[in-house]
Chains A and B, each alone.
Chain A
């Protein structure tokens, strides 16, 4: 009778999981376009080379499944910009011939296929799949606009040139975009499976510690993995982003072979990753940045109320975030330098130091 009880052939659950396998995926690519970041790479890789690889990567992503979608967001020094899709443009209709022409012209030297310009400005129409063409042209055109519109004042920060970039802004924009596309409008469950890939060159993100961490936790909650493709120095918070959200962190040792890294490590979508052995990070830098000076700290001080991190006890004796006034006596204790005494061993603080005595804060009234 076992065969007739229906359990083996009513694959309601199995069927659903089979469908899940077929779900198309959405890839949001965040491209760090900080000029200084790209300029100081060694071994060198130019932004153009990287973009060429990335475009092929995006094409490959779109090639995997007919319904796969992609978005590209540039994270610039002082702004972020959608490279594709550009808000307000309708890609479902044919681009007027003139736009197509200008798009290809500007991109000619950058895309590897640019040299075939025999046919009056529309060289790629017949030799490139439409979906690919639309994305590639849009990305090249918008990137060109973005870079040509950048002046030296844009990359200066407090008088000195910095390689920082608005990763936090780009992350939150992409999460919002994902939420809009995937979000609960459709009651049949999500239609897309989203992930984010950050291509990062900058090394210093400490000033954006809080917004980045917030994005990471939001992504974790939305079950959106953040993959990191890191060129140049390792960046603390991006390692944490990949680790927390279950994404892949990869530091490119040979940036010129970028396409191979992309194709092997970053292309598989979430359904396939279950079956693969993906590169993992052996050691993750879990350090945090302090809220007062945006410095990355090994050992710091934590507010006992709101858990804000400080690299040194606040000078005014109160938390800058929640305004809790700390006990001056405790603060004085914290600031005490170890005294070398021959008989007693000085008490050293090893780990993040917490002030335990909550009663010591006068204006804090504990709950019932």
Chain B
């Protein structure tokens, strides 16, 4: 469930990049592969069809491949490809962007000596570490950050790099470590799962790196490369650029890579790194607490019981968990191994006004449900789920859609044709047939304009 969120964020970032930067990105096969995986299935198919076909594709051919009812999907896929500058369109034909095409081909065939998937060390490490150690290292580093955010007193403070990143990203405010306080955005951040959290931080890191005169392309190359590395393998620093070596120091602080000491010539990616571009095997959930007394198994199974009377019982003594729960639950009593509280309109509205969404709350409760809860279907009491959503709806009486209004159609027929086309594309936001007016989203407007122009030309 975290994946769509992370996808949108990294996708949005990539789509915001100017074309020359994107093209430089596509020089690395590892990056091409990672970007390819972020695309919707239909877009992936279009790319694959064009990948080994030297001739450009007729745009009309695409219409023949896609079922009539699925035109919106086709439209969405092409829009995405255009946004990422992956396709070139000229005179009704479509072809793949050359650099990307070469890059993806290389990734699939393993051709070319590109080293973009990381160079393993060929000498034995005298201080070899195993996967368990790496997991622990990643866990400790990451939780140090989370605990610092909720203000748990662990006696340790993250490095300056981490602190300035937290400050820069608006997750915490305050100038010195002793007086830094978590913001609303920070609380939202805590509700996400680890993968989403890492991407949030890394995207902030990207933004920050631009200010520090670091090359965003190199930073992205490095991140996507990390996502394709093998856990437990040591990699050599030889192929890394100076920028990437600086990055390595920062990533070490987040627990994404492990280096025994900063002068070491090798580094190990941790599970946080190798799952960067995937959704499987995420190391720990946001719930993972610092309490080492809780065994790995219990940690995975969840601890929250939600009853139909809106009462919440959470079997945890982790300050982190309790802080997170406190975001949307009115906690009433605390015991040695459990806290009890109640979800109320006020508590949820407080969370909503902090920018936390109903879906986030529901996802959190689902993910961390106690094993006892898993016996019932549906998992969460529907009354509570519905109520939380209704409380959110109370806040959203208005919805703002940017777009364009079409009116003054000369005939009913003309209106029907164009409105029908807008429906097919799935860009219709609002319509009023008896007044012959409709409203389309900003993204879809160009398509409609083209269509109208074609119609007018065709008719004249």
Indicate if the CB atoms of B108 and A132 lie closer than 8 Å: yes
With A129-B117, A272-B45 known to touch, is A56 a contact of B393 (CB < 8 Å)?
Answer: no
Which residues of chain B are near A132, meaning CB under 8 Å?
Answer: 107-108, 110
Chain B 78-116 near chain A by CB (<8 Å), digits 1 or 0: 000000000000000000000000000011111111111
Which stretch in B313-321, B338-346, B384-392 binds the other chain? B384-392
Q: Is A64 an interface residue (CB 8 A)?
A: yes
- How many chain B residues touch A (CB < 8 A): the figure is 55
Partner of A63 from B33, B114, B233, B280 at Cβ < 8 Å: B33
A259 CB, nearest partner CB in chain B, Å: 5
Q: How far apart are the CA atoms of A128 and B42 in the complex, in Å? A: 25
A193 CB, nearest partner CB in chain B, Å: 12
Which residues of chain B are near A124, meaning CB under 8 Å?
Answer: 110
With A127-B110, A136-B110, A275-B66 known to touch, is A66 a contact of B49 (CB < 8 Å)?
Answer: no
By beta carbon, the residue of chain B nearest A115 is B111
Which residues of chain B are near A127, meaning CB under 8 Å?
Answer: 29, 106, 110-117
Indicate if the CB atoms of B108 and A63 lie closer than 8 Å: yes
Indicate if the CB atoms of B280 and A113 lie closer than 8 Å: no
Indicate if the CB atoms of B37 and A66 lie closer than 8 Å: yes
Partner of B48 from A6, A111, A112, A263 at Cβ < 8 Å: A263
B449 CB, nearest partner CB in chain A, Å: 26
Which residues of chain A are near B66, meaning CB under 8 Å?
Answer: 275-277
Partner of A129 from B41, B52, B107 at Cβ < 8 Å: B107
Q: How far apart are the CA atoms of A237 and B73 in the complex, in Å? A: 35
Q: How far apart are the CA atoms of A9 and B359 in the complex, in Å? A: 10
Q: Is A315 an interface residue (CB 8 A)?
A: no
Indicate if the CB atoms of A128 and B48 lie closer than 8 Å: no
Q: How far apart are the CA atoms of A4 and B112 in the complex, in Å? A: 58
With A10-B385, A267-B45, A269-B41 known to touch, is A113 a contact of B119 (CB < 8 Å)?
Answer: no
Indicate if the CB atoms of B389 and A10 lie closer than 8 Å: yes
For residues 378 through 403 of chain B, which have their beta carbon under 8 Å from a beta carbon of chain A? 378, 385-386, 389-390, 393
Indicate if the CB atoms of A65 and B37 lie closer than 8 Å: yes
Q: Is A93 an interface residue (CB 8 A)?
A: yes
Which residues of chain A are near B122, meaning CB under 8 Å?
Answer: 122
Indicate if the CB atoms of A129 and B233 lie closer than 8 Å: no
B60 CB, nearest partner CB in chain A, Å: 13
Q: How far apart are the CA atoms of A272 and B76 in the complex, in Å? A: 14
Which residues of chain B are near A93, meaning CB under 8 Å?
Answer: 232
Interface centre among A129, A260, A264, by most chain B C-beta atoms within 10 angstroms, is A129
Indicate if the CB atoms of B67 and A126 lie closer than 8 Å: no
- How many A-B contacts are there with CB distance less than 8 Å? 134
A18 CB, nearest partner CB in chain B, Å: 8
Q: Is A98 an interface residue (CB 8 A)?
A: no
Q: How far apart are the CA atoms of A76 and B233 in the complex, in Å? A: 37
Which residues of chain B are near A269, meaning CB under 8 Å?
Answer: 41
Indicate if the CB atoms of B119 and A126 lie closer than 8 Å: yes
Indicate if the CB atoms of A64 and B110 lie closer than 8 Å: no
Which residues of chain B are near A125, meaning CB under 8 Å?
Answer: 117, 119-120
Which residues of chain B are near A272, meaning CB under 8 Å?
Answer: 41-42, 45
Q: Is A157 an interface residue (CB 8 A)?
A: no
Which residues of chain B are near A128, meaning CB under 8 Å?
Answer: 107, 110, 117
Which residues of chain A are near B385, meaning CB under 8 Å?
Answer: 10
Chain A 1-40 near chain B by CB (<8 Å), digits 1 or 0: 0011010011010000000011000000000000000000
Partner of B280 from A66, A118, A267 at Cβ < 8 Å: A66
With A22-B3, A127-B29, A267-B45 known to touch, is A56 a contact of B108 (CB < 8 Å)?
Answer: yes
Which residues of chain A are near B112, meaning CB under 8 Å?
Answer: 113, 116, 127
Q: How far apart are the CA atoms of A123 and B111 in the complex, in Å? A: 10
Q: How far apart are the CA atoms of A127 and B118 in the complex, in Å? A: 8
Q: How far apart are the CA atoms of A213 and B64 in the complex, in Å? A: 33
Q: Is B431 an interface residue (CB 8 A)?
A: no
Q: Is B278 an interface residue (CB 8 A)?
A: yes
Partner of B52 from A59, A113, A259 at Cβ < 8 Å: A259
Which residues of chain B are near A263, meaning CB under 8 Å?
Answer: 48-49, 51-52
- Report 27 cross-chain contacts, Cβ distance below 8 Å, ordered by A residue: A4-B390, A12-B378, A21-B41, A22-B3, A56-B109, A63-B33, A63-B36, A63-B107, A67-B279, A93-B232, A111-B109, A113-B109, A116-B111, A122-B122, A125-B119, A126-B114, A126-B116, A127-B106, A127-B111, A130-B228, A133-B110, A260-B52, A272-B41, A275-B67, A275-B70, A276-B45, A277-B67
Which 5 pairs from chain A and chain B are nearest by CB?
Answer: A128-B110, A66-B278, A275-B70, A113-B110, A126-B115
Known pairs A126-B119, A260-B53; list 8 more (Cβ under 8 Å): A6-B390, A66-B278, A67-B280, A94-B230, A112-B111, A127-B115, A275-B74, A276-B70
